[in-house]
Amino acid sequence: MNPRRIVGFAAIAGIAYVAVAIGLVSTDAIEIPPVSGLALLLVALAAVSQIAAKWFFGMLFRESIQAAGGDLRPWSAFKAALVGAGIARLIPAGGAITPVGMSWTVRDEVDTGSAGPAVRTVLLNYAGLLIMAGVGLIVAPFDVTFLQIGMAVLGGIVLVVGVVLMFGSGKLGTLSRYLPRFLRDKVEDAVIDHLPGWESQLYIWARLALEAGALWLVLTGFGIDLGGFEVLAAFGASQLAGGLPGPPGGVVVVEGTLGFILIAYGVPAAAAVAPVLMFRVISYWLPSALGLLAGGSTFLGSDAAKEAESNA
């Protein structure tokens, strides 16, 4: 997608967010508790937690590259994670393009190839989300009776798929040999054998725990008290819904899914709107902005940019 279109979408969506928030406030559709110093502190900590999560996402990418025989500086891995997160939020079906953005970010630093490690990193993240959502839906059933059985069954299916993807993705290189030759030749550079050991698990769950923790901090700041498994279910399910084909970054989809789950857990609709919008500012707009900055600085420092400047 053209960079101007990305920036244009971000601007339009940002204006729409502000307009919707103003409209909801003016019609008393949002129930906003008194803003206290503690609430502001919790929201600030949520933003820090969201950024820290990207650091561990980058460390998983770095560990994957090292397993493939290369090396990568921690700061470069962090920038790649920011660029990947930004792409996932600002481009339709961005989750599928995230590995490309991560690989592009480190193209001047990694000589052994980074496509396979990037694909592995993204797949393991989705596997973790599936496991998190599955466990949450099973352990913390909805307050709505007719949804309890259905969500428990769905949670079990999601959990099994997550476990299979978590450990099956470590054998992508081996499995690719069973593909037709013309297809195997196209994907062989983008798949590697690397089972997720303890170091991978540390990075996966640190990232997801920090992002789910950001949601818990925002909810607590707005006076909403949910249990840990309820937060895991709400976070995991909403993020997975946002990754389905649709608007960039799951705009509207994530908000709707997260709001629905909070209401199903007994949160009044009017009280759920404000924390959902605030969480999306932290989980969507903050990484998007940092991803654009990281991508811009990476391009300006790339060999291609330096060559263009010398020829100018």
* pLDDT tens sequence for the chain (312 residues): 445 555 565 566 666 656 655 665 555 556 666 678 888 999 999 999 999 999 999 999 999 999 888 899 999 999 999 998 888 777 766 677 888 889 889 988 887 778 888 888 998 999 999 999 999 999 987 776 666 777 788 889 999 999 988 988 776 666 556 555 544 554 455 566 678 889 999 999 999 999 999 999 999 999 999 999 999 999 999 998 887 777 776 778 888 899 999 998 989 888 888 899 899 989 988 888 888 888 877 766 666 555 555 555
Query: pTM to 2 decimals?
Result: 0.84
Write down the pLDDT at residue 205.
97
Structural domain total, the chain = 1
Write down the pLDDT at residue 172.
64
Write down the pLDDT at residue 196.
86
Q: Is residue 108 part of a domain?
A: yes
Q: Is residue 143 part of a domain?
A: yes
Q: Is residue 7 part of a domain?
A: no
- Report the 3 state secondary structure along the chain: CCHHHHHHHHHHHHHHHHHHHHHHHHCCCCCCCCCCHHHHHHHHHHHHHHHHHHHHHHHHHHHHHHHCCCCCCHHHHHHHHHHHHHHHHHCCCHHHHHHHHHHHHCCCCCCCCCHHHHHHHHHHHHHHHHHHHHHHHHHCCCCCHHHHHHHHHHHHHHHHHHHHHHHHCCEHHHHHHHCCHHHHHHHHHHCCECCCCHHHHHHHHHHHHHHHHHHHHHHHHCCCCCCHHHHHHHHHHHHHHHCCCCCHHHCCHHHHHHHHHHHHCCCCHHHHHHHHHHHHHHHHHHHHHHHHHHHHHHHHCCHHHHHHHHHC
Q: Is residue 305 part of a domain?
A: no
Q: Is residue 11 part of a domain?
A: no
Q: Is residue 312 part of a domain?
A: no
The residue range of the domain holding 49 is 37-300
Q: Is residue 243 part of a domain?
A: yes
Q: Is residue 6 part of a domain?
A: no
